[in-house]
């Protein structure tokens, strides 16, 4: 049974940093497409960052230059390093992974296009 389990969320002041982790159980992060999504209060879920087929990293304009997505294949963990956090980054964050790249179908930032999805973890940024 495949599980993706997020950790590392919490509360931080504006300008601070957090690193989210997504541990995979029953699944190996090897050349697959992985991504982070978020859903803020009263907002639709949006894509934050994706690594497509283990090669290319793409970011939403709102986090470009502040967030970094990476995969540690030894630890089998997906990360999202978040720096210079802003109150508008407050959201539930979700990790997702797929053996087949959704980028060629529904799109890199389509949550339903990923085979495996975590339950989410809260990030709150105060001003």
pLDDT in tens, 37-72: 999 999 999 999 999 877 789 999 999 999 999 999
For the stretch 63-111, pLDDT in tens is: 999 999 999 988 999 999 999 999 999 999 999 999 888 988 889 999 9
pLDDT at 62: 96
Q: Would the pLDDT of 31 be above 70?
A: no
Long-range contacts of the stretch 114-119 (C-beta < 8 A, 24+): 114/33, 114/35, 115/2, 116/2, 116/3, 116/4, 116/24, 116/27, 117/4, 118/4, 118/5, 118/6, 118/22, 118/94, 119/5, 119/6, 119/94
């Amino acid at each position: 049974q495949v599980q993706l389990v997020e950790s590392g969320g919490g509360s931080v002041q504006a300008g601070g940093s957090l690193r989210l982790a997504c541990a995979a159980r029953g699944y190996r992060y090897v050349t697959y497409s992985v991504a982070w999504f978020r859903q803020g209060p009263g907002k639709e879920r949006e894509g934050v960052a994706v690594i497509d087929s283990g090669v290319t990293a793409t970011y939403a304009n709102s986090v470009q230059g502040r967030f970094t997505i990476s995969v540690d294949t030894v630890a089998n963990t997906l990360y999202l390093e978040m720096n210079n956090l802003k109150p508008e980054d407050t959201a539930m964050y979700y990790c997702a992974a797929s053996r087949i790249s959704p980028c060629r179908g529904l799109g890199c930032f389509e949550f339903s296009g990923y085979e495996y999805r975590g339950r989410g973890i809260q990030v709150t940024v105060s001003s």
